[in-house]
Structures are given as structure tokens and as C-alpha cells.
């Protein structure tokens, strides 16, 4: 591979840092970009720069957004008194895909994991409790993953809000143990949301 000019080697290196892209695929992609029309290559580079400069986090739910408030938080048709707590944007996307939920979200940005040194201050729990204190919230749906970290996170939130008047529910039915929400099919997700249980 070393026979390539420096610029190609650099691009191969950059591409191979992406998840799922090995050296061979990176080489194929770099050569594809090299042979692509100038405007296509420029558009790709521009899209990456625009992504980094325009996408930020929603100030309410911390979803990825290109405005201060994401489309879901800003939508008057969504019930802002029901908050579905998820670990990551991909979990939120899985629930949205199932079309089974008309409330809003709170994205924690991870789960509690003492082994990995991730404590309550490392995910957006304080922000969640701020919302439950300052907004009129009727229900919190705990939709963290069903693995050890997800369960620990759900229990922590449950403990903190147990004495509040907020209804606390957990989706689990049909979501496989240890399951990542993004691999749950939409129908199973709909059922899991319908059959959520209270505490
Ligand atoms: Zn939002």
C-alpha cells in the first residue's frame, strides 16, 4: 500500500478509523473517492464539515438536533408530560421507528456502570431530575437497555423518583435480556411500549 501518494495514504488511514472499516475497505473507498467527479468528493467533504458544525444537542431532551429544540420537543402534538428515558440516540430512533410513542424523550448519554467508572454524574441524570422538578411530568417510561447497566440505571431513577407523584413505568416485555433496543423489531417495540409495567 506504501506505493500510494501521501494524500491517499492519509485518507486510507482516516477512513480505517471508522467502525467496521478495515484497511482493505478503506483503500477501496479512498480510490473510489479519488476517481469520483470533483463535485461529489467536495460534497462528501462538505457534508462532514456541516455535520460537525450544525448538529448539536436538543436543550431539553439531548437528542441530536440542528435547532435548539429538536423536532420532537418542538412538536405541539407530542405529549411533553410523558418522558421516555433512553440511553442513546439510537434507542430513541428504534422507538420512533416503531411509531408507538407520542411523548417526548430524555437521552442519558449512557448508563451507570461502576466497573467502567461511569457514575450518576457522568450521564444526564441531574438534567432529568431538573426536568421532573421544573416541568409538569406525569409519567417517566424507563426504556434503558435490559442489561446490567441499563437495569442499574433504571433502578437508580426509580429510587430517586419513588416518592414523587410521577407514574414510573418500565418497558421490558418482548425486549430480549441484554438486548440493544436498536435491534428490536418495530412490532415487538410497539408491544413493549403498550405493555409497559408500573412500580
Ligand atoms: Zn428534544
Full-model pTM: 0.76
In the chain, CATH 1.10.8.420 covers 6-54
User: What count of Cα atoms within 13 Å lies in the side-chain half-sphere of residue 178?
Assistant: 0
The domain made up of 64-198 has a fold known as: Dna Topoisomerase Vi A Subunit; Chain: A, domain 2 (3.40.1360)
pLDDT digits (tens, 9 = 90+) for 59-83: 999 999 999 999 999 999 999 999 9
Q: In angstroms, rounded to a whole number, what is the distance separating the alpha carbons of residues 12 and 9?
A: 5
What is the whole-number distance in angstroms between the Cα of residue 181 and the centre of ligand 1? 19
pLDDT per residue as tens, the chain (199 positions): 678 999 999 999 999 999 999 999 999 999 999 999 999 999 999 999 999 999 999 999 999 999 999 999 999 999 999 999 999 999 999 999 988 899 999 999 999 998 999 999 999 999 999 999 988 999 999 999 888 899 999 999 999 999 999 999 998 655 665 667 777 778 777 777 877 878 8
Q: In angstroms, rounded to a whole number, what is the distance separating the alpha carbons of residues 166 and 128?
A: 13
What is the whole-number distance in angstroms between the Cα of residue 74 and the centre of ligand 1? 7
What is the whole-number distance in angstroms between the Cα of residue 71 and the centre of ligand 1? 7
What is the whole-number distance in angstroms between the Cα of residue 180 and the centre of ligand 1? 22
C-alpha cell at 36: 469520483
What is the whole-number distance in angstroms between the Cα of residue 65 and the centre of ligand 1? 8
Q: Which residues contact residue 14 at a Cβ distance below 8 angstroms, ignoring those fewer than 6 apart?
A: none
pLDDT, position 178: 62
Domain 6-54 in CATH 3.40.718.10? The answer is no
Amino acid at each position: 500500500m506504501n506505493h500510494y501518494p501521501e494524500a491517499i495514504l492519509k485518507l486510507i488511514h482516516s477512513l480505517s478509523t471508522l467502525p467496521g472499516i478495515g484497511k482493505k475497505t478503506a483503500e477501496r473507498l479512498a480510490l473510489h473517492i479519488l476517481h469520483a467527479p470533483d463535485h461529489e468528493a467536495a460534497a462528501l467533504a462538505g457534508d462532514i464539515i456541516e455535520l460537525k458544525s450544525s448538529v448539536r444537542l436538543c436543550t431539553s431532551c439531548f437528542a441530536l438536533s440542528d435547532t435548539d429544540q429538536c423536532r420532537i420537543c418542538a412538536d405541539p402534538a407530542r405529549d411533553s408530560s410523558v418522558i421516555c428515558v433512553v440511553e442513546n440516540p439510537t434507542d430513541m430512533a428504534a422507538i420512533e421507528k416503531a411509531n408507538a410513542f407520542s411523548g417526548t424523550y430524555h437521552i442519558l448519554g449512557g448508563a451507570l456502570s461502576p466497573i467502567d467508572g461511569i457514575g450518576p454524574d457522568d450521564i444526564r441524570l441531574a438534567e432529568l431530575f431538573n426536568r421532573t422538578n421544573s416541568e409538569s411530568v406525569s409519567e417517566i417510561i424507563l426504556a434503558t437497555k435490559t442489561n446490567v447497566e441499563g437495569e442499574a440505571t433504571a433502578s437508580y431513577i426509580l429510587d430517586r423518583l419513588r416518592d414523587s407523584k410521577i407514574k414510573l413505568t418500565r418497558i421490558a416485555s418482548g425486549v430480549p435480556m441484554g438486548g440493544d433496543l436498536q435491534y428490536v423489531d418495530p412490532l415487538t417495540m410497539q408491544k413493549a411500549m403498550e405493555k409497559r409495567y408500573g412500580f
